[in-house]
């Protein structure tokens, strides 16, 4: 038995709802400089794109994904939601990013100091709340080297996520007692938790906000967060542990690029635990990631119909644009 030796290694990916897919691609790939690593469809709803962004190869801990729902109503930020997604930038890159956001007419707040880091806050074109967190503890390996942002200033994957909760105890006890997170600090109504080896990519802040409205998932809000597990065997033991804690958890679902289980924490946020392998090079070579519509084998026979149902998009140029 592997017992309690398993650790959540950190954030695997965050999945959110967008409006227009082209605006989403232009913002995340063109402005923020994340690589579009996979253009596919929602396997549960093939008339909807599923856009994946990440570092050069889409390593776990760098993956932000979107279901674009053009024309759908805006969601509402509130409790029972992942309300802020934070990326890591190098310590000396705050001025670079303030200039870049200003030059692209993106309003931002800050920088403010939170714990030991400088934080810039802004929203994507659909109102999704984002942060850039400047820290000395950032790895340059996690960047798209031929992207539009110089590797010296580029986003290095996730820093952390913020969960807004009406109550506080059920969520924090799930994080610490079941999932093995550690409480590492508190500022105001924000409590910081870390998983795995800690640091950027492993952080979950829980905000207790009893008077905020309940969140509504739609355009401009996060759908779920996935936590990392290294393999199928550990995922199986997580599944048992979560079931034993009294929560409903799905069977293992094959998402082609990882294997997933889903469960809703008591506060309302949808959690997933996803395996690191097999990754995004399972169906296209590293240098061609995200350059064509990729369908799983069971949807390939429907390619014609699917392509007709999807709004056309212009993909980011592979050439360097600085
Ligand atoms: Zn997911």
Total domain count for the chain?
A: 1
Nearest to 87 by CA among 113, 114, 64, 111: 64
Q: What sign results for the dihedral spanned by CA atoms 130, 135, 138, 140?
A: positive
Domain around 291: 11-309
Distance from residue 272's CA to the centre of ligand 1 (Å) = 6
**Within a domain: 6:** no
Distance from residue 243's CA to the centre of ligand 1 (Å) = 19
Cα distance between residue 30 and residue 23, in whole Å: 10
Distance from residue 279's CA to the centre of ligand 1 (Å) = 13
Distance from residue 171's CA to the centre of ligand 1 (Å) = 19
Distance from residue 105's CA to the centre of ligand 1 (Å) = 31
Q: SS3 for 37?
A: strand
Look at residue 168 and tell me whether its pLDDT is greater than 90: no
Q: Note the maximum CA span of the chain.
A: 55
Segment 50-65, tens digit of pLDDT: 999 999 999 999 999 9
CATH of the domain at 84: 3.10.180.10
**Within a domain: 41:** yes
Q: What are the distances in angstroms from CA 148 to CA 36, 64, 100, 316, 321?
A: 12, 18, 11, 10, 5
Give the chain's radius of gyration (CA, Å): 19
Segment 292-321, tens digit of pLDDT: 999 999 999 999 999 999 999 999 865 443
Contact 64, 129 (CB under 8 A): no
For residue 5, name the pLDDT band (cuts at 50, 70, 90).
low
**Within a domain: 188:** yes
Number of residues that make up the chain? 322
**Within a domain: 149:** yes
**Within a domain: 319:** no
Segment 260-295, tens digit of pLDDT: 999 999 999 999 999 999 999 999 999 999 999 999
For residue 198, name the pLDDT band (cuts at 50, 70, 90).
very high
Distance from residue 98's CA to the centre of ligand 1 (Å) = 30
Q: DSSP assignment, residue 313?
A: -
């Amino acid at each position: 038995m592997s017992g309690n030796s398993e650790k959540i290694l950190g954030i695997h990916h965050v999945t959110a709802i967008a409006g227009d897919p082209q605006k989403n691609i232009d913002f995340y790939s063109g402005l923020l400089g994340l690589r579009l690593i996979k253009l596919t469809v929602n396997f549960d709803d093939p008339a909807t794109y599923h856009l994946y962004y990440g570092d050069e190869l889409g390593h776990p801990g760098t993956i932000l994904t979107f279901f674009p729902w053009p024309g759908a109503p805006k969601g509402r930020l509130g409790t029972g939601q992942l309300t802020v997604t934070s990326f890591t930038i190098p310590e000396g890159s705050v001025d670079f990013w303030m200039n870049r956001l200003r030059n692209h007419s993106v309003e931002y707040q800050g920088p403010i100091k939170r714990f030991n880091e400088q934080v810039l806050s802004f929203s994507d074109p659909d109102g999704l709340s984002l942060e850039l967190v400047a820290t000395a503890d950032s790895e340059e390996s996690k960047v798209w080297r031929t992207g539009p942002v110089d590797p010296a200033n580029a986003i290095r994957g996730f820093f952390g996520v913020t969960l807004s909760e009406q109550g506080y105890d059920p969520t924090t006890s799930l994080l610490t007692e079941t999932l093995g997170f550690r409480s590492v600090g508190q500022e105001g109504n924000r409590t910081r938790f870390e998983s795995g080896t800690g640091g950027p990519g492993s952080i979950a802040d829980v905000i207790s906000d009893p008077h905020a409205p309940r969140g509504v998932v739609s355009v401009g809000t996060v759908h779920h967060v996935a936590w990392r597990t290294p393999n199928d065997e550990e995922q199986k033991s997580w599944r048992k542990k979560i079931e034993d804690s009294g929560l409903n958890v799905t069977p293992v679902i094959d998402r082609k690029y990882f294997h997933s289980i889903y469960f809703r924490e008591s506060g309302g946020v949808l959690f997933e635990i996803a395996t690191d392998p097999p990754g995004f090079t399972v169906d296209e070579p590293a240098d061609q990631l995200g350059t064509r519509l990729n369908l799983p084998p069971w949807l390939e026979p429907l390619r014609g119909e699917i392509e007709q149902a999807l709004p056309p998009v212009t993909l980011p140029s592979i050439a360097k644009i600085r």
